[in-house]
Amino acid sequence: MAQVRRVRRIIRKIDPWTVLKVSFALYAVMGLALVLGGIIFWSFVTAAGYPTFIEDSLSSIGLRDVAAGPLVPTNDYMFRLAAFLGVAFTVLMTGMTTLGAVMYNLISDVVGGLEVVVLEESFNAPVTASNRPVRQVQSWQTAPSTSETVAATPVETPTKAPAPTGR
């Protein structure tokens, strides 16, 4: 039988150092995923031939001069661009999140913090004679006091077998 009670908690401070560490790890993983996803997407697009198709289409209708050189960036350029954007995303978002934690701390000093209502469950069943825990004593433990009820398992001492008598 679980008892549920509503408890109000107020979040007054958020540690900026903890926010920095956690947000850096989160945004580093997200940045890496975006870089890898972008590289995979670009390799599918170039393998399908869409950039050259767009370039040829623009040249055929006169919107692009063929003598200007190729419009399609190389895979090496796209990898460097994606890596730079991933690092910039990680640094920028980590800084913004940490700044947000510092700003929250300053604002919570003025307004008192963020109030959260939490439901707590307790599974404490009433103790009766039928469900009371019984403590068992191991052979290496000391004997309990006399006021405590104990169901001890007997400790057997090994006995020596009689020596064989051989004639």
What is the three-state SS of 50-89?
HHHHHHHHHHHCCCCCHHHCCCCCCHHHHHHHHHHHHHHH
**pLDDT score, position 76:** 83
Give yes or no for a contact between 153 and 139, defined as CB atoms under 8 angstroms apart: no
- For residue 10, the cross-strand partners are 115
The pLDDT score that the predictor gives to residue 33 is 95
d(CA 66, CA 22): 50
d(CA 31, CA 88): 9
Give tens-digit pLDDT for 127-161: 666 666 666 656 665 555 555 444 545 555 555 65
Domain boundaries, the chain: 15-116
At 16-74, the pLDDT tens digits run 999 999 999 999 999 999 999 988 988 888 888 887 787 777 777 776 666 566 666 77
Whether 5 shows a pLDDT value over 80: the answer reads: yes
What's the token pair of residue 113?
């913090």
C-alpha–C-alpha distance, residues 167 and 163, integer Å: 13
pLDDT of residue 58: 74
Whether 99 has a pLDDT exceeding 90, the answer reads: yes
The confidence score (pLDDT) of residue 143 equals 54
Name the residue with higher pLDDT: 6 or 20: 20
Place of tokens 């009766």: 128
Q: For residue 88, what pLDDT is reported?
A: 96
